[in-house]
Structure 1
Amino acid sequence: MSEDVYSQSCPAEEFNPCSPDILDQHERIKKDVAAELINSVPNPAFILNSDRRIILYNETLSAAVGEIRENMILGRRPGELLRCCNSRKNWCGEAVPCVQCGALRAIQTAMTGNRAEEECMLLSNVDGQVKAYTFKVNASPIKIKEEQYFIIHLTDISDSKHKEMMERVFLHDLLNAVNGITNAGTLIKEDAVKSEHRELAGMIVDRAKFMANEIDAHRMFISAETRQLEINNEPVIVKQVLESVSAFYSGSQIAKDKNISLESKIEEFALTTDKRILYRIVENLVKNAIEASPANSTVTIKAESKNGHALFTVSNQGTIPMTIAHQIFKKSFSTKGKGRGLGTYSVKMFTENYLRGRVWFDSSQDDGTNFYVEIPLSPSADPLEVDPCPRRLQN
């Protein structure tokens, strides 16, 4: 980038960012902070003085902004160096929109003596071209020779945020389209005269509902992974959840040669939890059990209340080899091929991260495979003690 671009990104007032004071600070800090140390950081990193001006930086930063000349980096504030649109007519941090800047909030928090992590959405303008970035900004206070400074690390998460946004938009639009198919199929089914037409319309509605359920489950998984899933606790009748899951899969294609048995003596009890998450946990366990079961076998669903907890058990007649057992909860691990393996991982994530419970399993030739989920009957601020290992594994 040319020097003209830099001059355009700063206010018209006369100012030399690389002043003697800045150079003096730079030389002193350079002696006390090994250049190799800050250059070992793979992301752009720099040290600010109390005026939020850069006095030391790593090579990754200079490569990211396309500038190798020290006098064009030293003394600038982050927004000025990154060509933030708000810095074209004001100094970085002094424009009205700057109060919403995640980078400024992180730096200000560091100035109070605390570490901070924020997301910064920045519009950059270079040669008249506007480009959007999203950075994760980590800021920490650091004392060097009794002087206070602040070390900043930038991680460009623009691609991952864009992917996340596009995935959400895609799933939202896809779900709307599938719901449209469901509604249209329902109308056809109601108006059909011939029984074969009603049956065909019913099949369309069932498949569309299955697709909508899968899409909604994926949306929830993404929210949970990104820690954006909000808990909505409410009274839940356990038997109703199990009956709903059982009915849903009993008529599905994946269970066409399997049986799903809901224990007839399930006691009538309720718990206070997030119904959507509980449903997904049980649903994933039942789906996995169906897929792992031999043909013409039975998947059994049980639930009981004891010692202030609800215990759910999903059993199938298959067995899990020892070579697979210790990887069963790992993300993306699957015996079903590439692109699978989120089922048991999601069960563990939802149970332990959101419902403050625990999940485990046992497997043997005599008893088949049993997955257990235990969650409190009422929400608790303290998680249960989690045992990540299977209780009993036999071949």
Structure 2
Amino acid sequence: MASIIKDLLYTAFAPAERASSPKVDEQVSLFSGDNKTRQIFDFFPDFAVVLNRQRQVVHANSPLLQFLKLPSIDSIKGLRPGEMLNCLHSSDNPGGCGTTEFCRVCGAANAIMNSMENKTREMQDCEITTADGNAVNFRVWASPMVQNGIDFTVFVLRDIADEKYRSALERIFLHDLMNTASGLYGVHLMLKDNHSLFPDYANSLAGLSLQLLEEIENQRDLLSAEKGNLIVKPEKFSSLGLLKDVMELYRFHDLGEDRIIKISSDAEKVKFTSDQTLVFRVVSNMVKNALEASKAGETILLDCFEDSEKVVFKVHNSEVIPDDVGLRIFNRGFSTKGGGRGWGTYSIKLLTEKYLHGKCGFSSSHEDGTVFYAEYPLEFG
């Protein structure tokens, strides 16, 4: 019995203890019976809940209930925000939302805890992946509230997915595509002034054109995948051939400048059936991520091999991912490099696990550097 209680109370971040069901019902009645307070909350256009000291829901406004497709608070009272939103990690520990290592880097959990501890109004952004694989982005606010002499926390959530998309598209079109287009134009000017240079720059021209098309198609496929209407087209192809195509893509990429991309001498030519375009997209994003992380002169090593009826792709670089970054690295829109980034690693997971029946992940240490991997069944289906 003692070990069971210990497991229930274990936490890697916020306290696991909860108020009893009768206590939660008593707190719910403080708000359900207060028409004025209820009307004010329902007037909010954003999603809003009231949390007790144990971070449990004791009141929810109409916009949130409509979003969750619920007629009343009954099915979410006593839950914590992550449990209410079906967060992927809310059931990792017996203590639930707020008690896992992932909660330490969650904007929602941190806003709530900081507000409770400091009696201040807090605002943070958070990225949540739901248990069914969907991703949501919220801007959240937490603020102290007193009702009938009891301390509560008002927790407000605003969906900022559109803002994240706009930021990403602005970066893609104003930075990434502009850089590639500028490179194309530069080659064009050189050829215009001196036609004899064409044989020397033909490969550069082809590489930059391929890069431009790849960046546009990458975003098209990501948007289709998010909407759930991406069509998978399985075909048989070679893992080693795909690695060579990815390496060729980055041969003329500005990210590849002063960095070395190599294919392992042990890489195997594995024939398998999947969507070649989407697997190419995944592996190229792993390489792009490695290039962005690496310093000038460092080597990015690509590998592929067969293992237990699966084909495995690996991309290694020498840098180390900090623990707090690693916990969020597959979240939609999360990046340490500023607005508009953070979609490459997210798309790796989305395409691999939702569309290609595969699995992806990474390992990182000071001894071995960082390795991202993606594995797929030899036969799709």
Q: Give the TM-score normalised by structure 1.
A: 0.49
Equivalents in 2 of 1:216, 1:287: separation in Å? 15
**Quick one: structure 1 residues 41 and 229, their matched pair in 2 at CA, closer, same or farther if it must change by over 3 Å?**
farther
Aligned to 1:153: none
Conserved 8 A contact 2:207-2:251 = no
1:193 matched to 2:207? The reply is no
Q: 1:205 offset after TM fit, Å?
A: 4.4
Contact 1:189 1:198 in 2 (8 A): no
Superposed displacement of residue 202, structure 1: 5.5
Partner of 1:349: 350
Paired with 1:345 and 1:271, the residues of 2 have a C-alpha distance of 24
Within 5 Å, which residues of 2 pair with 1:58-137?
Answer: none
- CA separation in 2, counterparts of 1:251 and 1:205? 9
Report the Cα distance in structure 1 between the residues aligned to 2:264 and 2:324, rounded to whole angstroms. 31
Report the equivalent of 2:321.
320
- Which amino acid in structure 2 is aligned with residue 300 of structure 1? L
Counterparts in 2 of 1:202 and 1:302: CA distance versus 1, 3 Å: closer
Query: Using the alignment, how far apart are the partners of 2:307 and 2:202 within structure 1?
Result: 44
Q: Deviations over 1:332-383 (max 9, x none)?
A: 1111111100011100000000111111111111100011111111123xxx
Counterpart Cα distance in 1 of 2:332 and 2:362:
17
Note the alpha carbon deviations across 1:60-117, whole angstroms, 9 max, x for none.
9xxxxxxxxxxxxxxxxxxxxxxxxxxxxxxxxxxxxxxxxxxxxxxxxxxxxxxxxx
| Partner-residue secondary structure (3-state), 1:271 | strand
Q: Are the aligned partners of 2:315 and 2:372 in contact in 1 as well (CA < 8 Å)?
A: yes
Per the alignment, residue 219 of structure 1 pairs with 220
User: 2:248 aligns to what SS in structure 1?
Assistant: helix
Aligned to 2:98: none
1:229 Cα deviation from its structure 2 partner: 0.5
- Corresponding residue of 1:303: 304
Report the CA distance between 1:308 and its aligned residue: 0.6
The aligned length equals 227
Tell me if structure 1 keeps the 8 A contact 2:204–2:252.
no
- Cα distance in structure 1, aligned partners of 2:217 and 2:240: 22
CA distance in 2, matches of 1:286, 1:248: 10
Matches within 5 A, 1:227-242: 227-242=228-243
Identical residues among aligned pairs (%): 32
Deviation at 1:221, TM superposition (A): 0.7
Q: Which whole-Å CA distance do the structure 2 matches of 1:330 and 1:248 have between them?
A: 26
Instruction: Please say if 1:259 is aligned against 2:260.
Output: yes
Distance, in Å, in 2 between the alignment partners of 1:232 and 1:366 is: 39
The structural deviation recorded for 1:269 is 1.8
8 Å contact 1:189–1:199 — kept in the other structure?
no
Give matches, 1:10-25, under 5 Å.
none
Per the alignment, residue 338 of structure 2 pairs with 337
The residue identity in structure 1 corresponding to 2:240 is: K
| Larger Rg computed on CA atoms | 1
Asked if the contact 1:182–1:209 (Cα under 8 Å) also holds between the matched residues in 2, the reply is: no
CA distance in 2, matches of 1:306, 1:227: 30
- Flag the 1:335–1:342 CA change in 2: closer, same or farther, 3 A: same
Post-superposition shift, 1:296?
Answer: 0.6
Q: Is the 8 A contact 2:300 2:316 kept in 1?
A: yes
Deviations 1:18-69 (A, max 9, x none): xxxxxxxxxxxxxxxxxx99x97999xxxxxxxxxxxxxxxx9xxxxxxxxx
* Structure-2 residue corresponding to 1:32: none
Give the equivalent residue in structure 1 for 2:207: 206
User: Which one-letter code corresponds to 1:252 in the other structure?
Assistant: H
What's the TM-score once normalised by structure 2's chain length?
0.50
Q: State the secondary structure of the residue aligned to 1:250.
A: coil
Aligned: 1:374 with 2:364: no
- For the residues of structure 2 that align with 1:376 and 1:333, how far apart are their CA atoms? 29
Matched letter for residue 378 of structure 2: L
Residue type at the aligned position of 2:196: K
Tell me the secondary structure at the aligned position of residue 250 of structure 2.
helix
Q: Does 1:280 align with 2:307?
A: no
Q: Deviations over 1:116-137 (max 9, x none)?
A: xxxxxxxxxxxxxxxxxxxxxx
Q: Tell me by how many angstroms 1:207 deviates.
A: 2.7
* Residue identity in the other structure for 1:319: V
Q: Structure 1 stretches of 5 or more lacking a match?
A: 1-35, 44-59, 61-159, 381-395
Aligned equivalents of 2:276, 2:43: Cα separation in 1: 44
Q: Is the Cα contact below 8 Å between 1:329 and 1:345 reproduced in 2?
A: yes
CA distance in 2 between counterparts of 1:198 and 1:316 reads 33
- Structure-2 change in CA distance of 1:240 and 1:203 (3 Å): closer
Which has the higher relative contact order, 1 or 2, with Cα contacts under 8 A spaced 6 or more apart? 2
Q: Is the 8 A contact 1:312 1:372 kept in 2?
A: yes
Looking at structure 2, the residues matched to 240 and 349 of structure 1 have their Cα atoms a distance apart, in angstroms, of 23
Q: Secondary structure at the match of 2:379?
A: coil
Structure 2's unaligned 5+ residue stretches are: 1-37, 46-61, 63-161
Query: 2:272 corresponds to which residue?
Result: 271
Q: What SS class does the counterpart of residue 194 from structure 1 fall into? A: helix
Tell me, in whole angstroms, the C-alpha distance in 2 between the residues paired with 1:235 and 1:202.
28
The CA deviation at 1:271 is: 0.4
Seen in structure 2, the aligned counterparts of structure 1 residues 182 and 337 have a Cα distance that, compared at 3 Å, is: closer
C-alpha distance in 1, partners of 2:251/2:373?
21
Q: Report the counterpart of residue 125 of structure 1 in structure 2.
A: none
